[in-house]
């Protein structure tokens, strides 16, 4: 790798805690839950065992005009909202045919998604079954394709240096950011709009996750259902949302006097080669991802003061990650698990949680893990519970792991 410094100069998100970064961050610090009962007739119709989810706090149509919204799958809508916010936060003006603040040939996009547009796929299949081909939308394919979110962002913000859409399930958002970093480091782009998006709360996904026995069934108490690292955890809560960051060459950001939230100093991407949904029992892939990120950043494990854990609130996954953190880094880092509040945003998770990690570095405060009342003794880490903790940080890791055995660790350092 070259030694081009990459910094974060813009943040955008829409999540179950709020329609932007500020409200999401406030929600994390205040200990609010984004998990609610799902209001849908299909819960009864299919007698689904899971009746809770972490839906968006703000409907995308609040921010996207009707005609544009009807051409976009919900996953594409949230990606576009987060990207536009990050773009404006970086101090860039809306591009026009006459002027762009970033030269299009030097601007890239890397926005991952776990599934893309399954809701569109199912709706259009219903129309086909009921009415035949005439009622199938000509927008079906561009709405369901997993590169749709990234492609729409690239069109909207005029990016011509290449558009990527990593698909690595729940690690997609983190891999989106890592891929953006590589685009800048390899000289392909000066600025990359990077992150992840997901919006797939639907009967088939709920049913599928429920059949895999990975989701919480604490239906009578939604706000307490997602409880990473707690002894009473019983699975994750499916959420939706998007997070996008603006990655920029450090010298370019300095030259224009941009606000720098943090530096992206390294990443680790590994694969378990073990099982399609289960983690490797010794956590070799997770450990290697964290160690590789530390090595790439030129740091040692002692420098890493904070880990924003992937911890989804599953019985097996949380203790597996805890063991991997202890082995890769040690017992000293201050750990938090934002999924207690956010639920699991799948392809959006790694990006939104990356943003939380960046803000912890920037503000010197780590949000508590919501619903962590009794720390599982097998976790054996310093996990923040109850109140946020003020702590001066120089380096922090955000972990994301996905079905398929994907492991991604992003390492951010203070600007």
- Please give the positions annotated as active site: 170, 310, 344
Total count of residues recorded for the chain: 415
Q: Decide the pairing of beta strands 306-308 and 395-402.
A: parallel
Query: Of the candidates 212, 237, 210, 209, which has an alpha carbon nearest to the alpha carbon of residue 223?
Result: 237
Tell me phi and psi for residue 118, to 5 degrees.
Answer: -65, -30
Which part of the chain contacts other proteins (CB under 8 A), choosing from 16-24, 132-140, 185-193, 271-279?
Answer: 132-140
Residues 247-306 that bind other proteins (CB under 8 A): none
Site string for other proteins, 145-174 (x = CB under 8 A): ------------------------------
CB of 137 to other proteins, least distance (A): 7
135 interacts with other proteins by CB under 8 A: yes
Q: What angle do CA 158, 84, 122 make, to 5 degrees?
A: 90
Q: Count the alpha carbons within 13 Å of 137 in the hemisphere toward its beta carbon.
A: 17
Closest CA to 178 of 400, 375, 334, 393: 400
CA distance 54 to 38: 8
- Asked if residue 65 binds other proteins (CB under 8 A), the reply is yes
Residue 138 in the binding site for other proteins (CB under 8 A): yes
Contact between 401 and 381 under an 8 Å Cβ cutoff? The reply is no
Among 45, 66, 99, 390, binds other proteins (CB under 8 A): 66
126 contributes a contact to other proteins by CB under 8 A: no
> Rounded distance, CA 173 to CA 163, Å?
14
Phi, psi of 266 (to 5 degrees): 175, 170
Q: How far is the CB of 69 from other proteins (least distance, A)?
A: 10
68 or 231: whose CB is closer to other proteins? 68
Q: Rule CB under 8 A: say whether 132 interacts with other proteins.
A: no
Among 139, 207, 301, 375, binds other proteins (CB under 8 A): 139
Q: Name the residue nearer to other proteins (CB basis): 71 or 160.
A: 71
Please provide the DSSP assignment of 376-394 as one string. -TTT-SEE--SS-EE---S
- Does 134 contact other proteins by CB under 8 A? yes
Q: Which stretch binds other proteins (CB under 8 A): 60-68, 245-253, 302-310, 328-336?
A: 60-68
Place of tokens 């009921």: 130
Give the x-and-dash track for 70-89 against other proteins (CB under 8 A).
-x------------------
Binding-site ranges for other proteins (CB under 8 A)? 65-68, 71, 134-135, 137-139, 142
């Amino acid at each position: 790798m070259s030694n081009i410094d990459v910094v974060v100069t813009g943040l955008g998100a829409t999540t179950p805690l709020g329609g932007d970064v500020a409200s999401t961050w406030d929600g994390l610090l205040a200990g609010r839950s984004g998990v609610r009962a799902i209001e849908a007739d299909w819960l009864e119709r299919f007698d689904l065992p899971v009746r809770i989810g972490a839906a968006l706090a703000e409907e995308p149509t609040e921010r996207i005009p009707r005609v544009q919204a009807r051409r976009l799958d919900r996953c594409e809508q949230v990606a576009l909202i987060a990207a536009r916010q990050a773009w404006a936060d970086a101090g860039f003006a809306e591009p026009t045919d006459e002027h762009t603040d970033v030269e299009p040939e030097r601007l890239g996009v890397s926005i991952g998604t776990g599934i893309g547009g399954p809701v569109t796929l199912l709706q259009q299949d219903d129309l086909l079954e009921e009415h035949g081909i005439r009622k199938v939308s000509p927008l079906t394919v561009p709405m369901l394709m997993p590169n749709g979110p990234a492609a729409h962002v690239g069109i909207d913000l005029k990016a011509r240096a290449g558009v990527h859409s990593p698909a690595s399930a729940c690690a997609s958002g983190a891999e989106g950011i890592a891929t953006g970093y590589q685009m800048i480091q390899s000289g392909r782009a000066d600025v990359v709009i990077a992150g992840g998006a997901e919006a797939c709360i639907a009967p088939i996904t709920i049913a599928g996750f429920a059949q895999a026995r990975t989701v919480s069934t604490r239906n009578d108490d939604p706000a307490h259902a997602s409880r990473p690292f707690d002894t009473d955890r019983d699975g994750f809560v499916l959420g939706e949302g998007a997070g996008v960051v603006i990655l920029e060459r450090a010298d370019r950001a300095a030259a224009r006097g941009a606000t720098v939230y943090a530096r992206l100093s390294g990443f680790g991407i590994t694969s378990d080669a073990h099982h399609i949904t289960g983690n490797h029992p010794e956590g070799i892939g997770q450990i290697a991802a964290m160690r590789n990120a530390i090595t790439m950043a030129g740091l040692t494990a002692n420098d890493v003061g904070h880990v924003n854990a992937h911890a989804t609130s599953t019985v097996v996954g949380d203790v597996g990650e805890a063991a991997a953190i202890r082995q890769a880094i040690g017992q000293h880092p201050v750990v938090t698990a934002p999924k207690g509040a956010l639920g699991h945003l799948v392809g959006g998770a790694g990006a939104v949680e990356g943003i939380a990690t960046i803000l912890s570095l920037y503000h010197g405060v780590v949000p508590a893990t919501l619903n962590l009342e009794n720390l599982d003794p097998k976790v054996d880490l310093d996990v923040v519970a109850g109140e946020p903790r003020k702590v001066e940080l120089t380096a922090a890791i955000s972990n994301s792991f996905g079905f398929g055995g994907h492991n991604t660790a992003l390492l951010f350092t203070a600007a």
